[in-house]
Amino acid sequence: MEQIQPSTEGLRYRKKLKARLAVERSALELVTERGYDGVTVEDICARAEISKKTFFNYFPSKASAVMGRFDTFPNDEHLLAILEEHDEACYLDVLVGIVGASMASGVDEDIVALRREVLRSMPQLFFQGQRDLLAVQHSIAAALRSYLSEHPERRMLSNQLVDEEALVASSTAIGLARTRSMLHVCGDSKPSATDVRHLVMAYLSAGDRVSGASCL
């Protein structure tokens, strides 16, 4: 029987876990004390007692140490497979679900609570993760290009080209995932992907209920 994860126990593994936690905790504490821009990666390294290079072995960016990594976000083939599989639901909901699930995976309770505190008091941080989300967005756009080409019946913007729908969709999916995260962190409900989509729909259509409407 082959093991999927090369090492899921042993000293090496435990140290890794501890180091990763130390980094996340240090990052969140420092950001709480001095704000995002008042903290450098080297500050975080110093507190977590690791080198800068090790930091970047664990986290692809400064933001990811504070905001969480997209650990389990599937690679391109896997993503496509998931889309193929969930052909009963709106693909946007599927994507928003995956992005959400990959955001806070494998992090301990403590860190999740700390991060929530930090985000509640500095909601601008919701928009710091851009660089990391870009990779996610690219994957999504690529997967959708294949998927929608092969399953035109699943398209939701039939008047646009497939490439355009993929572009708009990847952007929308990330936007919905972020909105969901904001609602979850700042409020106290945990809306489903579908809930968030409905909420945003209602939000957008509320625009038509104002006096004059449609002018710009």
Partner DNA sequence: GGAATAATTTACACCTAGTATAAATATTCA
Partner DNA sequence: TGAATATTTATACTAGGTGTAAATTATTCC
List contacts with DNA (CB under 7 A): 6-7, 10-13, 15-16, 19, 39-42, 49-54, 56-57, 60-63, 131
Contacts of 10 (CB under 8 A, 6+ apart): none
Q: Whose Cβ is closer to its own copies: residue 24's or residue 132's?
A: 132
Residue from 30, 73, 35 nearest 48 by CA:
30
Copy the structure tokens of residue 165: 């729908």
Least Å distance, CB 75 to its own copies, is 18
Q: Whose Cβ is closer to its own copies: residue 21's or residue 90's?
A: 90
- State how far the Cα of 204 lies from the Cα of 207, in Å rounded to an integer: 6
Q: What is the CA radius of gyration of the chain?
A: 20
In eight-state DSSP terms, residue 194 is H
Give me the residues that bind its own copies (CB under 8 A), please. 86-94, 96-97, 123-124, 126-127, 130-131, 134, 137-138, 154, 156-157, 160-161, 163-164, 167-168, 171-172, 175, 178-179, 182-183, 186-187, 192-194, 197, 199-201, 203-208, 210-216
Copy the structure tokens of residue 201: 């729909």
| Residue 194, contacted partner among DNA, its own copies, none, CB below 5-8 A by kind | its own copies
Least Å distance, CB 174 to DNA, is 18
Q: Whose Cβ is closer to its own copies: residue 4's or residue 215's?
A: 215
**N-term to C-term CA, the chain:** 64
